[in-house]
Amino acid sequence: MIITLKKDAKQEETEKLLRSLENKGLSVNMIQGDTFNVFGLVGDTSKLDERLIKAHPFVENVQRIAAPYKLANRMFHPQDTIIDVNGIHIGGKEPIVVIGGPCSVESEEMIERIAYKVKEAGACMLRGGAYKPRTSPYAFQGMGTQGILAMEKAGKKTGLPIVSELMSADKLDEFIEHVDVIQIGARNMQNFDLLKAVGKTKKPILLKRGLANTIEEWIMAAEYILSEGNPNVIFCERGIRTFEPYTRNTLDLSVIPIIKEKTHLPIIIDPSHATGDWKLVESASLAAIAAGADGLIIEVHDDPENAMSDGVQSLLPEKFDALVEKGRKIAKVMGRSI
Amino acid sequence: MIITLKKDAKQEETEKLLRSLENKGLSVNMIQGDTFNVFGLVGDTSKLDERLIKAHPFVENVQRIAAPYKLANRMFHPQDTIIDVNGIHIGGKEPIVVIGGPCSVESEEMIERIAYKVKEAGACMLRGGAYKPRTSPYAFQGMGTQGILAMEKAGKKTGLPIVSELMSADKLDEFIEHVDVIQIGARNMQNFDLLKAVGKTKKPILLKRGLANTIEEWIMAAEYILSEGNPNVIFCERGIRTFEPYTRNTLDLSVIPIIKEKTHLPIIIDPSHATGDWKLVESASLAAIAAGADGLIIEVHDDPENAMSDGVQSLLPEKFDALVEKGRKIAKVMGRSI
Amino acid sequence: MIITLKKDAKQEETEKLLRSLENKGLSVNMIQGDTFNVFGLVGDTSKLDERLIKAHPFVENVQRIAAPYKLANRMFHPQDTIIDVNGIHIGGKEPIVVIGGPCSVESEEMIERIAYKVKEAGACMLRGGAYKPRTSPYAFQGMGTQGILAMEKAGKKTGLPIVSELMSADKLDEFIEHVDVIQIGARNMQNFDLLKAVGKTKKPILLKRGLANTIEEWIMAAEYILSEGNPNVIFCERGIRTFEPYTRNTLDLSVIPIIKEKTHLPIIIDPSHATGDWKLVESASLAAIAAGADGLIIEVHDDPENAMSDGVQSLLPEKFDALVEKGRKIAKVMGRSI
Amino acid sequence: MIITLKKDAKQEETEKLLRSLENKGLSVNMIQGDTFNVFGLVGDTSKLDERLIKAHPFVENVQRIAAPYKLANRMFHPQDTIIDVNGIHIGGKEPIVVIGGPCSVESEEMIERIAYKVKEAGACMLRGGAYKPRTSPYAFQGMGTQGILAMEKAGKKTGLPIVSELMSADKLDEFIEHVDVIQIGARNMQNFDLLKAVGKTKKPILLKRGLANTIEEWIMAAEYILSEGNPNVIFCERGIRTFEPYTRNTLDLSVIPIIKEKTHLPIIIDPSHATGDWKLVESASLAAIAAGADGLIIEVHDDPENAMSDGVQSLLPEKFDALVEKGRKIAKVMGRSI
């Protein structure tokens, strides 16, 4: 960590700060500049709060050199982490996973029907929402427990592990019992109590990036889960909010090489929420594979016009099928398979 | 609601959509254009999901005319809502409320000491965090219940109602018993289960705007609370995330006249989080009053360098005092008082 | 165009607006709603300024149905436009063009040396800046005319057409004489006088997307060029400005299918400026090809540490070579070649 | 400047970089950390390009300590610069200037009529556009020279200095002869050739902030003008682009105290473009004065519905009058006048 001090800082203030840092076990080097002086700190600064040091009126700026995350940091864990979901492996050089399914579970019959269709097209996991975060209180809020049980049944019949979003820690037991991968949604990426709760389980966690969260904040959210003892975190990019009104979000594919450089955890892409428009999903999916993604999670519906949510961004099964077909060829170029 | 249809839409598809809309009790007018046809819907469209209509392949676009919120809408509730917090009134032409206090409660002695200082400077409520949403799992997470009890004590001694952030519904009973105003933080603005939970109480709710949420999404979050039966919502703008790195966030003061035009609820401003820098807090606070805010919530600490969080954006009590003094004069020009 | 009128609009005001619209040759349909009335306009609204109609105090909102661009609009020009640059074709199903070269021309020897290297790796055009838009007045501003002449020479020797940025209309004659493709940089995307000037030539124009411009504004910038008589516009996405600090910009690949749906013009991607980091360029380039791009423009330097600008985002020739190799395989999957 | 080096950097590479920095007259201090080594540079780093240093593969990061601007920097020029426009002073503790007038000059009669009205309301300068940057090539592009001459006439009759936007250096002579303050628009903030051109004059320059430009980039644009020899730069904030669709832009008032801390130059606010809606202009204007602005530039039109541009954000003269009246009272609280 680098602390920039104003030139007119009084010596006693500077020394007081120096001693307080040394008391934290850090060694401090000082550089005298023309317009500023600089403290360079050596030692473990991950628990130092830079905004507190900045509170000193004679401190001009504080800059972190080492990343604030430890457990997620590839520097201390060079090999790729491979997440195991009922025998399906995610990450490293493993096959690219394709997760398909509807936005919302609408009935037992419906989720089973679509489960078979996505399986046939090549998906290896089933997605579906039973608890739905909706902007409007008047919109369909999901089937709840009935939806989770319907998914579990469809998953068992087809042999597909299931992924569903947990919105509140009070449903955690239900998810531990019935769900294979627990999704933390974009709006809850910094719901720290929820992160701590899922960190106490051993379930694989699909951690979506928040609407307007930086890559570092996202890794810190993973660090919350890891620090509670759960090493099974899968990052999921789903687009960020920008000024562009045409797409629902702006898909940031640069996160793929960055997450892989900074951390040892796998990352998958959600092209459906990223674009918000089924016509853009194939292009985004192929791009994600070419960019190095470990997987895709895609909304599929066989009657999007009558879907209970997100019909506009859901692919018809036949289009999903065609997408997987092309994706397989791109994956091969990348030295992987689907 | 206006639905734009592609010119090449088949008549039977158009008619099917027409009938399904009419079955929902809406009356539909059709306009034939040169490049598109248009359906204009008359009736209550607040429960219609535009993303589902957009899922029809022959629909080019869907545009909402009427706002999707009803209970928060000034159109149906023209007079200002005044929120009562233990006799202090917020909104309308009532005096501008100033809420002061530390970011985090650090000890019983500390919160009491600061409570007296902010009261002396003219604050009419005390803020303080006991459960802290921190980006890093390694940062101070707050005193929890002990912090809430210490605040309650300080509030009783000074006669100031207390405001504190609730992060999880499982602490709701504690907050109902000990806290006067429940704050929903920016990161939880779309934690819909939490919104529903506080909507079932009658406590005043301070609803912060999310990091990157539009005004409409923010009003919809209020609508969640109102629709559960709690009419006591106070909006709180705390800056939005932009590309500008110099400030922590970008304070959007235009929300003041907009919220007052669109809704009947009061709105206050948090200049501390908006700027992230105590040197910018006074300027932002005076601007907020001149823009028409109903109140301010400001971080105050008497030893910011040793604060346990957010020291850099906390004002010293004497600076807070000077700010309130100037604010009073601006308030007077605006036809109000502090 | 759809005009929403407040319910309390006086009849005479409404009629005045109605007549003024009809005088512009538009036919107007009125829908009476519960909370608003609506005018639906039929006819050519491309020259109507919606912000002027919005100025009427009884107008609540104005929404455009038809796109405001005509010449760029695929609706009126369904077949792909193929741009010809000295026999190289860009767009449609033509081979994907790869343009390589340094950020700045640094000397005659240097640009010739790199020209041979990028050609060898598979590039079909040479890029290089002679007039450089630099944030700081103290940074290297480019070699100017000497740079243009050096590029022309390198282009002739290698047989590669050259692409260079024009910053000011007073250098247009120089560019017409010596340059094959004129680049309009991101910072000048809405320098309308410059757009008009290049619109008066027949040169192919590489039109970069502005830092924070919407897709519609970008197409309107192309419309400026087209409306002056120059049909040869190539769009170039180079990342947009977002809150994320890790990358220089955020690459928005969704523009590829959108530009291809809305317009008939080709689009290429600049992964160097989009990411700002050579380590991220390969991933972004492959993703762009998989997303359907018509080309890539990539910064290449054989001594990036001593480059006069943008060294950090320049690829070494051997890495560029490897990238083109992989790109070729992805292109093949997409039914194209490089 | 602080350079972070990877631990595995080879000694010879490190030494080569060290020597090249020392050859530039800088003294270099090295700190050995646990995970990184750090170079701290002492000396004038304003002409060092951090992106070139970052190009070294063994460099992890480069951070600037001292600001990259010199002439605009308050550190080297502590007293406020006061700009003189025909005897009207802008900046320091001088009266707050109010500039009013239409978006576009529409006729000689119109600009004269409005000039008298804004003068009566308390404006001390007249604004008006003769060359208009319009998103659409089909929109009104301004009266050009006729408009400039009409403004000059109106300015002479009323005694108000005139402000107008220059879009292209080829009109500079016209502006030097007829215009009092040359405006550089938001879209041209990084049109560096135009900045250099106006830097060669002695005219006061009103430098608008770009749509999505950081404060530092904005100050660097001023530095371009200053470094050519023109010290008369007035900053003008007009809102930045964000995700919020309700307002045209988001007004960032925090720039007022920041520009005043970092530079010695005056800053004024344009609430008309910032909000894009006349109903929001008064609130934003009063807030700007309370935040410490040195002036306001406001669009005024006496027939907004028939304006040739931007009617929706233009105030009627009587509303402008009321605004100035309230502004005067806020100014008084701030220790200034209008």
From the list C246, C247, C287, the residue facing A291 with the nearest CB is: C287
CA distance linking residue D221 with residue D224, whole number of Å: 5
Rounded alpha-carbon distances, angstroms, from residue C59 to B69, B334, D302: 20, 29, 18
Instruction: Tell me whether residues B254 and D247 touch, CB distance under 8 A.
Output: yes
What are the DSSP E strand ranges found in chain C?
A: 2-6, 27-32, 36-42, 59-63, 83-85, 88-90, 97-101, 125-127, 162-165, 181-184, 205-208, 233-237, 267-269, 295-299
B74-333 CATH pick, 3.30.360.10, 3.20.20.70, 3.40.50.1970, 1.20.1080.10: 3.20.20.70
Token pair listed for A128? 């579906």
CA nearest to D319, candidates D279, D286, D290: D279
Token pair listed for A297? 């999670």
Ordered alpha helix ranges (H), A159-246: 172-178, 192-199, 215-227
Instruction: Tell me whether residues C51 and D224 touch, CB distance under 8 A.
Output: no
pLDDT of residue A311: 80
**Given the DSSP bridges, would you call strands D83-85 and C59-63 parallel, antiparallel or unpaired?**
unpaired
Instruction: Tell me whether residues A170 and B169 touch, CB distance under 8 A.
Output: yes
Backbone CA torsion sign across D119, D125, D129, D130: positive
Per-residue pLDDT of chain C (338 residues; tens, 9 = 90+): 889 898 888 888 888 889 989 988 888 888 887 778 888 888 888 778 888 888 888 888 888 888 899 999 999 999 999 999 999 999 999 999 999 999 999 999 999 999 999 999 999 999 999 999 999 999 889 999 999 999 999 999 999 999 999 999 999 999 999 999 999 999 999 999 999 999 999 999 999 999 999 999 999 999 999 999 999 999 999 999 999 999 999 999 999 999 999 999 999 999 999 999 999 999 999 999 999 999 999 999 998 888 887 788 999 999 999 999 999 999 999 999 99
- Which chain B residues contact residue A54 at CB under 8 A? 311-312
CA nearest to B123, candidates B158, B97, B103: B97
In chain B, residues 257-276 whose CB comes closer than 8 Å to chain A? 276
Determine which of A57-71, A173-187, B264-278, D293-307 has the lowest per-residue pLDDT on average.
A57-71
Reported as type and span, the H/E element at residue A267 is strand A267-269
pLDDT of residue D145: 97
At residue A312, what is the residue type?
A: V
Percentage of chain A with pLDDT > 70? Answer: 100
pLDDT of residue C34: 77
Instruction: Tell me whether residues D66 and A35 touch, CB distance under 8 A.
Output: yes
The reply to whether D2 touches chain A by the CB within 8 Å rule is yes
The reply to whether A245 touches chain B by the CB within 8 Å rule is no
The reply to whether D139 touches chain A by the CB within 8 Å rule is no
B249 phi/psi in degrees, rounded to 5: -145, 175
At residue D112, what is the residue type?
A: E
pLDDT of residue A258: 98
CA C224, chain centre distance (Å): 13
pLDDT of residue B184: 98
Token pair listed for A322? 């065609």
Instruction: Tell me whether residues C258 and A252 touch, CB distance under 8 A.
Output: no
**Interface probe with C: pick from B243, B246, B261, most Cβ of C within 10 Å:** B243
CA distance linking residue A134 with residue B247, whole number of Å: 31
pLDDT per residue as tens digits for the range D64-79? 888 899 999 999 999 9
From the list A196, A217, A307, the residue facing B52 with the nearest CB is: A307
The number of residues in chain C equals: 338
The reply to whether C73 touches chain D by the CB within 8 Å rule is no
Neighbours of D82 (CB within 10 A): 15
The reply to whether A329 touches chain C by the CB within 8 Å rule is yes
The reply to whether B247 touches chain D by the CB within 8 Å rule is yes
Confirm if A209 and A238 have CB atoms less than 8 A apart.
yes
From the list A36, A42, A243, the residue facing D33 with the nearest CB is: A42
The reply to whether B78 touches chain C by the CB within 8 Å rule is no
Instruction: Tell me whether residues D254 and B330 touch, CB distance under 8 A.
Output: no
The reply to whether D33 touches chain A by the CB within 8 Å rule is yes
Residue A148's Cβ-side half-sphere holds a number of Cα atoms within 13 Å equal to 21
Confirm if A27 and A61 have CB atoms less than 8 A apart.
no
The reply to whether B211 touches chain D by the CB within 8 Å rule is no
Token pair listed for D210? 């770009």
CA distance linking residue C287 with residue C130, whole number of Å: 29
- Which chain B residues contact residue A278 at CB under 8 A? 55
Tell me the mean pLDDT in the region A275-294.
97
Neighbours of C13 (CB within 10 A): 16
pLDDT per residue as tens digits for the range A247-273? 999 999 999 999 999 999 999 999 999
Reported as type and span, the H/E element at residue D131 is none
What are the boundaries of each domain within chain A? 2-63, 74-333
- DSSP characters for D275-330? HS-HHHHHHHHHHHHHHT-SEEEEEB-S-GGG-SS-GGGPBPHHHHHHHHHHHHHH
Beta bridge partners of D127: D163
- Which chain C residues contact residue A63 at CB under 8 A? none
Reported as type and span, the H/E element at residue D69 is none
pLDDT of residue A278: 93
- Which chain D residues contact residue B252 at CB under 8 A? 242, 244, 250-251
Nearest chain D residue to A1 by CA distance is D33
Give the closest-approach CA distance of C155 to chain A in angstroms.
Answer: 32
Determine which of A17-26, A31-40, C65-74 has the lowest per-residue pLDDT on average.
A31-40
Beta bridge partners of D24: none
Confirm if A270 and A235 have CB atoms less than 8 A apart.
no
At residue D147, what is the residue type?
A: G
- Which chain D residues contact residue C141 at CB under 8 A? 192
CA distance linking residue B147 with residue B125, whole number of Å: 16
Rounded alpha-carbon distances, angstroms, from residue D35 to A35, A75, D8, D31: 28, 9, 9, 11
The number of residues in chain D equals: 338
Name chain D's partners: 3 or more CB pairs within 8 A. A, B, C
Domain C2-63 has CATH 3.30.70.1140: yes
Token pair listed for B25? 């009790």
- DSSP characters for A130-143? SS---SSTTS----
- Which chain C residues contact residue B28 at CB under 8 A? none
Confirm if D292 and D257 have CB atoms less than 8 A apart.
yes
The reply to whether B318 touches chain A by the CB within 8 Å rule is no
CA distance linking residue B250 with residue D314, whole number of Å: 25
Tell me the mean pLDDT in the region A60-84.
92
At residue B332, what is the residue type?
A: K
Instruction: Tell me whether residues A34 and D40 touch, CB distance under 8 A.
Output: no
Q: Is B205 helix (H, G, I), strand (E, B) or coil?
A: strand
CA distance linking residue B17 with residue B12, whole number of Å: 9
Nearest chain B residue to A170 by CA distance is B170
The residues, any chain, with a CB within 8 Å of residue B228's CB and separated by 6 or more, are A137, B195, B196, B199, B200
User: Residue A47: is its pLDDT beyond 80?
Assistant: no
The residues, any chain, with a CB within 8 Å of residue C17's CB and separated by 6 or more, are C3, C39, C53, C56, C59
**Interface probe with B: pick from D218, D220, D247, D254, most Cβ of B within 10 Å:** D254
At residue C37, what is the residue type?
A: N
From the list C46, C55, C134, the residue facing D312 with the nearest CB is: C55
Give the closest-approach CA distance of D55 to chain C in angstroms.
Answer: 4
Gyration radius of chain A's alpha carbons: 23
**Given the DSSP bridges, would you call strands B181-184 and B205-208 parallel, antiparallel or unpaired?**
parallel
- Which chain C residues contact residue D314 at CB under 8 A? 55
Instruction: Tell me whether residues B287 and D290 touch, CB distance under 8 A.
Output: yes
Reported as type and span, the H/E element at residue A5 is strand A2-6
pLDDT of residue C273: 96
The reply to whether A211 touches chain B by the CB within 8 Å rule is yes
CA nearest to B98, candidates B285, B284, B255, B232: B285
The reply to whether A65 touches chain D by the CB within 8 Å rule is yes
CA nearest to D256, candidates B312, B283, B322: B283
Confirm if D30 and D39 have CB atoms less than 8 A apart.
yes
From the list C33, C40, C60, the residue facing B38 with the nearest CB is: C40
CA nearest to B276, candidates B235, B238, B237: B238
Name chain C's partners: 3 or more CB pairs within 8 A. A, B, D
ipTM of the complex: 0.94
**Interface probe with B: pick from A138, A172, A220, A313, most Cβ of B within 10 Å:** A138
Confirm if D45 and D39 have CB atoms less than 8 A apart.
no
A207 phi/psi in degrees, rounded to 5: -105, 105
Nearest chain D residue to A76 by CA distance is D35
D30 phi/psi in degrees, rounded to 5: -115, 135
Instruction: Tell me whether residues C65 and B32 touch, CB distance under 8 A.
Output: no
Give the closest-approach CA distance of B60 to chain C in angstroms.
Answer: 9
pLDDT of residue C209: 98
- Is the backbone of residue C242 left (phi > 0), alpha (psi -120 to 50) or beta? beta
Rounded alpha-carbon distances, angstroms, from residue A208 to A200, A244, D204, D322: 18, 21, 50, 50
The reply to whether A250 touches chain D by the CB within 8 Å rule is no
Instruction: Tell me whether residues D32 and A43 touch, CB distance under 8 A.
Output: no
The C-alpha angle with vertex D331 and arms to D329 and D337, in degrees rounded to 5, equals 100
From the list A254, A275, A326, the residue facing C247 with the nearest CB is: A254
Give the closest-approach CA distance of C337 to chain A in angstroms.
Answer: 14
Instruction: Tell me whether residues B44 and C38 touch, CB distance under 8 A.
Output: no
Token pair listed for B97? 């409320």
- Which chain A residues contact residue C249 at CB under 8 A? none
> With a cut of 50, which residues of chain D have pLDDT below it?
none
The reply to whether C33 touches chain B by the CB within 8 Å rule is yes
Token pair listed for C33? 């709603």
List average pLDDT for each run of 10 residues in chain B, which is 338 residues long: 87 88 88 83 82 85 88 95 98 98 96 97 97 92 97 98 97 98 98 97 98 97 97 98 96 98 98 96 98 98 84 92 97 96
The residues, any chain, with a CB within 8 Å of residue D23's CB and separated by 6 or more, are none
Give the closest-approach CA distance of B310 to chain A in angstroms.
Answer: 6
- Which chain A residues contact residue C212 at CB under 8 A? 243
At residue B217, what is the residue type?
A: E
DSSP annotation of A41: E
**Which strands sit side by side in the sheet containing D36-42, from one edge to the other?**
D27-32, D36-42, D2-6, D59-63
